[in-house]
Structure 1
Amino acid sequence: MGGDLRPGGLPGGPDTAGTRPGDGPRPAGTPKAVGVVWGLLVLNTLGSAGAKTIVPLPRSLIQLVTMGALVAAFALALALNLRLRIRPGAFVFLLTLLLVPSVISSATLESGFGALFRCARLALFVGTLWLLSRWWDGGLTFVRHHIRMYFAVLGSVAAGAIISPGAALPDLYGGRLVGALWPLTPPQIGQYAAVIIGLTVLLVLGRRTDRASAAAVIVPALVLLALTHTRTATLGLLIGLALAIGSLVLTSAAARRFFAWAVLGAVVAVVGFGAAVQAWFLRGQSQEYFTSLTGREKVWDALLAAPRTTSEQVFGTGLGDKSFGGLPIDNSWLAVYHEQGLLGVALVATVIAVLAGVALLRPPSLSRACAIFLISYCAIASYTEAGLGDASPYLLHLAVAASLLAAPAAAAPLPTPEVPRRRIPRWARSRSEVT
């Protein structure tokens, strides 16, 4: 990715003074290593379970790499912020509170020692976000880091598809695109593609990147999204972009033009290619299977019907692998209820509500639009994807939204130089007194 997606946006260097609309002033000397920390967090949240890769990778090796990335991210963030300067905010504070039901429920070892290990992982993850909060200033720095890192992940997916199309489009997943170099599932790839497409579109509308650089990101990401046949990611992208661009319509002519063309394109697609769009969404499934959310409702009903003690209802059963009865839960709210109880559900709901409320109260800007897109995408995806209660890409998306909604750091006032007082000779002083 080249062009204007590098730090600084438009030609002419970085906007350290915050003179461009939508970009708040950045702390002087923001280390480039902050992007490395963000990349390590992205690597940690890729997961260790997925499709079979071209070169078989032991799950223990993948877990060692991902956990090592988290430890390295925390250590590097601590080295960059040795004075522990943080920006207090509701988002990271609520995630810290989420550790309480996680530890209480995991301490019973009902989910095994792995639950305590996952608590330690969540604690390191949240601690790294605390350390990075020093550089959350309402600017687009973390948006650019986010796009770059996930574009690199999608680059590995594309490389795997070129090297071995059979492994990248296996029959086990119905011919949907998977990660052939790193074990990534179709929903993961669809999520990463949808998020960077939406953010890049908003950067174009805000004139923070040129169209050639944006096309180099959007076009291949759209191809990968189409190959995954991921309905949740597609709907999240469309609805999230509609809400984000809608927040700019009153202040941006480019947003109004894009919105009008998007509506026209949607009408043409439905009228002219309705059958193809329907076939893409059904993925060869029956209408009944589609309406039951590919069998997810059976797992949800069983989870809600399972008997629970009062402690399990309040604090959950401990951090696990987001499954019930050996089947994936695929719903963030039910996964949080199962593992962190009603207290966890209340905290996660508060996180979403606080971020959404702050976004609505902010004046129209590009930063606000990007935050609205990320918040709405996570809220939509939470219905059929798990991850809001544990270290995951969804929490990284919300962390970027929190960085966009942070108030710009107040610039320290320049010290006023003290003018030395002129000494008046004694003879002159006495004459002036006489006069």
Structure 2
Amino acid sequence: MGGDLRHGGLPGGPETADTRPGAGPRPAGTPKPVGVVWGLLVLNTLGSAGAKTIIPLPRSLIQVVTMGALVAAFALALALNPRLRIRASAFLLLLTLLLVPSVIASVQLESGLGALFRCARLALFVGTLWLLSRWWDGSPSFVRHHIRMYFAVLGSVAAGLVASPGAALPELYGGRLVGALWPLTPPQIGQYAAVIIGLTVLLVLGRRTDRRSAAVVIVPSLVLLALTHTRTATLGLFAGLALAIGSLVLTSAAARRFFTWAVLCAAVIAVGFASALRAWFLRGQSQEYLTSLTGRAKVWDALLAAPRSMAKELFGVGLGDKSFGGLPIDNSWLAVYHEQGLTGVALVAAVVVVLGGVALLRPPSLPRACAIFLISYCAIASYTESGLGDASPYLLHLAVAASLLAAPAAAGPRATPEAPRRRVPRWARDPEVT
């Protein structure tokens, strides 16, 4: 599927030339430092707010590390692409346009100088993605980078759980798993686990990795996801996989077998463990509290009822910390509406619609299935989590989807070496000589 070489494991391998008759030269593989740039972008989007860590880390120190990672990512990407070769991308163009309402609203300083700082961060983030777009060729290279980096983050979470179970499962969060070495919240951990589980399952179905390597990623990630009790991530994982695998069932026997077994296992688990699943899903909350989306609905109603001028309606109040009245908004669309106005909402909606439309128009393949999973996961998670309008893991997920949907670079015709030209004596070039 997709025309890429199959590798034996997740770490991947070097690209080799296509030796099929009539095949042109294949484009060069992605340089290894590109994975370093991606890792720095992941580090930048981890955030600085969360549970208390085993070793107290000042928030200012964490912010210096995350911003330093973004600056380093941009500098390294620029060093790898000094001639500024980029690919045309509607996704990146829309993100660049999103800077316009962000800057227009932020210069009013209603959200403080931090709004301008966040605009600069978003500009640097999008600029780095533009530089990396040179290597967006429809191959799963960035999927592998994505899995490796977030699996490393989950490794730090697991290490914190082993080192201090009390700090990793605090009562403050209702016994849900948090980052004890780096301040990560349960929704963050659940998101990372769900995304790499889904991508790894699709790589197995596409025979791009072996089952043993996949199990090393999937099994511990499933355990961590269960410990976070994150409903949004779990629903996004299952719904995204259903849509992604559904796009392969007509062309892949492995996808059909997996889908059949998954439905059967889900039915058995739903019947045999209904009470346990219900207890896990409720997390000790009442039905009324769950209906109000754990209190989010009250914040949303207050945000929508707040009076706004025409300028704020169009461009928002500027980039902030995704909160209203001191409480988190926890909805990407309302957060964008609050900070970037209706203009920002239209641009973010265009991002999702464009990526989804391109994915639906592509023929069935593994890259298309991975893109569908990432797009659908972000669309589902956007209802209860913020991030689509600012530098965040969600934009990185969508960037991976954009790289998968990019058309492979067309290989130009091979240049045939010219035969050496023989020097003609002057007397032979004289037309009067007979």
Partner of 1:140 in structure 2? Answer: 140
Provide, for residues 232-274 of structure 1, a one-character-per-residue CA deviation record: whole Å limited to 9, x for no partner. Answer: 0000000000000000000000000000001001111111111
Q: Quick one: which amino acid aligns to residue 31 of structure 2?
A: P
Note if contact 1:26-1:139 (Cα within 8 Å) is conserved in structure 2: no
Partner of 1:7 in structure 2? Answer: 12
Q: 1:345 to 1:33 in 2, by over 3 A?
A: same
Displacement of 1:16:
5.3
Partner of 2:162 in structure 1? Answer: 162
Q: Distance in 2 between matches of 1:173 and 1:17?
A: 53
Partner of 1:432 in structure 2? Answer: none
The answer on 1:97 being equivalent to 2:97 is yes
Q: Distance in 1 between matches of 2:60 and 2:134?
A: 34
Displacement of 1:419:
3.7
> Which segments of 5 or more consecutive residues in structure 2 lack a partner in the other structure?
1-6, 429-434
Partner of 2:227 in structure 1? Answer: 227
TM-score by length of 1: 0.93
Matches within 5 A, 1:235-314: 235-314=235-314
Q: Quick one: which amino acid aligns to residue 59 of structure 2?
A: R
Displacement of 1:28:
1.4
Partner of 1:52 in structure 2? Answer: 52
Question: Aligned to 1:4, what secondary structure does the other structure show?
Answer: coil
Q: Quick one: which amino acid aligns to residue 7 of structure 1?
A: G
Q: Distance in 1 between matches of 2:218 and 2:308?
A: 46
Displacement of 1:26:
6.5
Q: Quick one: which amino acid aligns to residue 378 of structure 1?
A: C
Provide, for residues 145-196 of structure 1, a one-character-per-residue CA deviation record: whole Å limited to 9, x for no partner. Answer: 0000000000000000000000000000000000000000000000000000
Q: Distance in 1 between matches of 2:105 and 2:391?
A: 17
Q: 1:217 to 1:26 in 2, by over 3 A?
A: farther
Q: Distance in 2 between matches of 1:178 and 1:392?
A: 19
Displacement of 1:411:
1.2
Provide, for residues 305-358 of structure 1, a one-character-per-residue CA deviation record: whole Å limited to 9, x for no partner. Answer: 000000000000000000000000000000000000000000000000000000
Aligned alpha-carbon RMSD (Å): 2.1
Partner of 2:38 in structure 1? Answer: 38
Q: Distance in 2 between matches of 1:351 and 1:300?
A: 23
Question: Aligned to 2:118, what secondary structure does the other structure show?
Answer: helix
Q: Quick one: which amino acid aligns to residue 350 of structure 2?
A: T
Note if contact 1:18-1:26 (Cα within 8 Å) is conserved in structure 2: no
Partner of 2:208 in structure 1? Answer: 208
Q: 1:295 to 1:70 in 2, by over 3 A?
A: same
Q: Distance in 1 between matches of 2:242 and 2:416?
A: 49
Partner of 1:64 in structure 2? Answer: 64
Note if contact 1:26-1:137 (Cα within 8 Å) is conserved in structure 2: no
Q: Quick one: which amino acid aligns to residue 303 of structure 1?
A: L
Partner of 2:364 in structure 1? Answer: 364
Q: Distance in 1 between matches of 2:10 and 2:112?
A: 44
Partner of 2:83 in structure 1? Answer: 83
Q: Distance in 2 between matches of 1:203 and 1:16?
A: 22
Q: Distance in 2 between matches of 1:83 and 1:166?
A: 51
Question: Aligned to 1:111, what secondary structure does the other structure show?
Answer: coil
Question: Aligned to 1:7, what secondary structure does the other structure show?
Answer: coil
Displacement of 1:381:
0.1
Note if contact 1:316-1:338 (Cα within 8 Å) is conserved in structure 2: yes
Q: Distance in 1 between matches of 2:399 and 2:157?
A: 25
Q: 1:255 to 1:149 in 2, by over 3 A?
A: same
Partner of 2:344 in structure 1? Answer: 344
Q: Distance in 2 between matches of 1:62 and 1:424?
A: 73
Q: Distance in 1 between matches of 2:423 and 2:399?
A: 58
Q: Quick one: which amino acid aligns to residue 91 of structure 1?
A: F
Provide, for residues 40-60 of structure 1, a one-character-per-residue CA deviation record: whole Å limited to 9, x for no partner. Answer: 000000000000000000000
TM-score by length of 2: 0.94
Note if contact 1:7-1:14 (Cα within 8 Å) is conserved in structure 2: no
Q: Distance in 2 between matches of 1:18 and 1:135?
A: 22
Q: Distance in 2 between matches of 1:335 and 1:382?
A: 10
Question: Aligned to 2:42, what secondary structure does the other structure show?
Answer: helix
Q: Distance in 2 between matches of 1:30 and 1:326?
A: 44
Displacement of 1:291:
1.1
Partner of 2:376 in structure 1? Answer: 376
Displacement of 1:18:
9.9
Question: Aligned to 1:176, what secondary structure does the other structure show?
Answer: coil
Q: Distance in 1 between matches of 2:423 and 2:405?
A: 53
Q: Distance in 2 between matches of 1:131 and 1:115?
A: 24
Question: Aligned to 2:308, what secondary structure does the other structure show?
Answer: coil
Q: Distance in 2 between matches of 1:172 and 1:415?
A: 67
Question: Aligned to 2:368, what secondary structure does the other structure show?
Answer: helix
Q: Distance in 1 between matches of 2:98 and 2:358?
A: 20
Q: Distance in 1 between matches of 2:97 and 2:147?
A: 29
Displacement of 1:27:
3.6
Displacement of 1:30:
2.7
Q: Distance in 2 between matches of 1:332 and 1:74?
A: 26
Partner of 2:431 in structure 1? Answer: none
Q: 1:246 to 1:396 in 2, by over 3 A?
A: same
Note if contact 1:299-1:329 (Cα within 8 Å) is conserved in structure 2: yes
Q: Distance in 1 between matches of 2:39 and 2:8?
A: 20
